Amino acid sequence: MVAKRINSAHGSSSALITAVVANARGEIFDLAGFAAVGSDGPPLSPLSTDLTRRLPHGSELMFLPDRIPALYDMRRECVVTLPENPYVPGEAIYPVAAFNSPGYVITHTPAYAERPGAGLLPLFSYGAVGWHRGRFRSAVLQVDDEPRQDLRQMPLDKIKVGVQRMRRTLPDNRLRAHLEKCALTYGCPAGKNFFLGRYEAPLPTSPACNAHCLGCISLQTDPALTSSQDRIAFTPSPDEIAAVALTHIRRVKQAVVSFGQGCEGDPLMVADTIVAAIRAIRRQTDQGTINMNTNGSLPDRIIPLIEAGLDSLRISLNSVREPCYTAYFRPSGYGFGDVAATIDTALAHGAHVAINYLNCPGFTDTPQECDALLAFLSAHPVQMIQWRNLNYDPLRYRERMADAAPQGPAMGLARLLDQVRQRFPRLRHGYFNPPKEIYRK
């Protein structure tokens, strides 16, 4: 069947991609006569080849229960919501989404309407997807091409060999034992990389957090949601942390070791232990990059960490507008101002600072968010933005953000990225924490 073409945003014509849906058994299939539709907030747009790319390797497909897909009817040339398979009367159909691999940021979420009584979607990011010439295509932009978490380079048998090796190397180390569960049970790519001796190793340390993020993946109090991993229940000793870090640094070129992982609270809550651990590492080597992923809530704890030898920080933000930040992070005992102060303190003391920008199309790319981000980057000149997909129900998230502050129609993530690049040409864009050899040239 000849693919219908449309005039794309920049005047060239490109082929619409066919819609994919699922039945109640979770079988995914393409629906002839209908094109995939992406949502960038309220604006729904038929997806075409120029707005999508081949589904990145390692991405997963999910069907969305209790929801009705919105598709582009090619014959009637309009968007329709379709509760049933037009070719199998009575068969309910459901929207399909892509959980894209690391390094790809979503530009559109799937278009759908909730059925009455629909619950919250589980904690994943949901990207729009379609079918074209025998392949799935995803509505994403690539922001990082480093194979740090490319599953093709992380074979399970090699991970298991690494686990055995580390059991011999660090027999009584509780942190090493915890990372085994991360790698083998939770499938954490950072945990796997420790046992494979690749790129970046995780150093989870904190059972506690002073935020209460809607989409926290280590501790959920919302009965409608399940956290994807258990939060670490102990704080490793400085020696245990240093031993794991040094083991990784000694065998990996341009190694990165990172505090602040998905299986813990916030590392700033145990800053004293981390200062002692960093000192123990730096007494033995100046190699490797010591990084901290954090909510940046406690500015007064930053200087001792940097003086001990912390090289870089990555601060998580869903928005730089306080009402939207507060509505998502639900901070306790700190505010957005403290996060900005942490960034300023770290920059002033020579640390590399990245923002971990939790993106949701239809919110992140609204004019209000764009203007606020540009103003924030002027006032707080960080070195990098890591574009991440927010792991939360997109429709419910947009509703919460709309309750928190006004939002105009989305401009599109590509345009947002262009504006940031034009205004801040030296700002690095990516997905992964860079080794210091990259930014201290």
Taking the C-alpha atoms of residue 72 and residue 69, their distance in angstroms, rounded to an integer, is: 10
Choice from 125, 229, 258, 295 touching ligand SF4 (CB under 6 A): 295
Q: Does 311 bind ligand SF4 (CB under 6 A)?
A: no
Q: Does 212 bind ligand SF4 (CB under 6 A)?
A: yes
Closer CB to ligand SF4, 22 or 268, in the complex: 268
Q: Does 209 bind ligand SF4 (CB under 6 A)?
A: yes
Size of site (CB under 6 A) for ligand SF4: 9
Closer CB to ligand SF4, 127 or 260, in the complex: 260
Q: Does 213 bind ligand SF4 (CB under 6 A)?
A: yes
Is residue 7 within 8 Å of residue 15, measured between CB atoms?
Answer: no
Q: Does 190 bind ligand SF4 (CB under 6 A)?
A: no
Q: Does 338 bind ligand SF4 (CB under 6 A)?
A: no
Choice from 14, 39, 173, 218 touching ligand SF4 (CB under 6 A): 218
Q: Does 400 bind ligand SF4 (CB under 6 A)?
A: no
Closer CB to ligand SF4, 94 or 334, in the complex: 334
Residues between 16 and 45 with contacts to ligand SF4, criterion CB under 6 A? none
Q: Does 359 bind ligand SF4 (CB under 6 A)?
A: no
* Sign (positive or negative) of CA dihedral 52, 53, 58, 62: positive
Closer CB to ligand SF4, 39 or 318, in the complex: 318
Q: Does 292 bind ligand SF4 (CB under 6 A)?
A: no
Q: Does 369 bind ligand SF4 (CB under 6 A)?
A: no
Choice from 266, 338, 369, 393 touching ligand SF4 (CB under 6 A): 266
The least CB distance from residue 353 to ligand SF4, in Å, is 17
Q: Does 395 bind ligand SF4 (CB under 6 A)?
A: no
| Candidates 81-89, 112-120, 213-221, 319-327; binding stretch for ligand SF4 (CB under 6 A) | 213-221
Choice from 216, 281, 327, 404 touching ligand SF4 (CB under 6 A): 216
- Category of 428 on φ-ψ map: left (φ > 0), alpha (ψ -120 to 50) or beta: beta
Closer CB to ligand SF4, 181 or 212, in the complex: 212
Which one, of 81, 73, 41, 57, lies nearest residue 136 by Cα? 57
The least CB distance from residue 313 to ligand SF4, in Å, is 14
Q: Does 121 bind ligand SF4 (CB under 6 A)?
A: no
**Cα→Cα distances 255→99, 150, 197, Å:** 28, 17, 9
Taking the C-alpha atoms of residue 127 and residue 105, their distance in angstroms, rounded to an integer, is: 9
Quote the distance between the C-alpha of residue 174 and its chain's center. 27
Q: Does 270 bind ligand SF4 (CB under 6 A)?
A: no
| Candidates 94-102, 209-217, 276-284, 403-411; binding stretch for ligand SF4 (CB under 6 A) | 209-217
| Candidates 43-51, 152-160, 211-219, 382-390; binding stretch for ligand SF4 (CB under 6 A) | 211-219
Q: Does 390 bind ligand SF4 (CB under 6 A)?
A: no
Q: Do the strands 428-430 and 384-389 form a parallel or antiparallel pair, or are they unpaired?
A: parallel
Taking the C-alpha atoms of residue 154 and residue 146, their distance in angstroms, rounded to an integer, is: 14
Residue in the block written with tokens 């670490």? 232
The radius of gyration of the chain's CA atoms, rounded to the nearest angstrom, is 22
Is residue 202 within 8 Å of residue 190, measured between CB atoms?
Answer: yes
Q: Does 265 bind ligand SF4 (CB under 6 A)?
A: yes
Phi, psi (5° rounding) for residue 127? -105, 150
The least CB distance from residue 356 to ligand SF4, in Å, is 10
List residues binding ligand SF4 (CB under 6 A).
209, 211-213, 216, 218, 265-266, 295
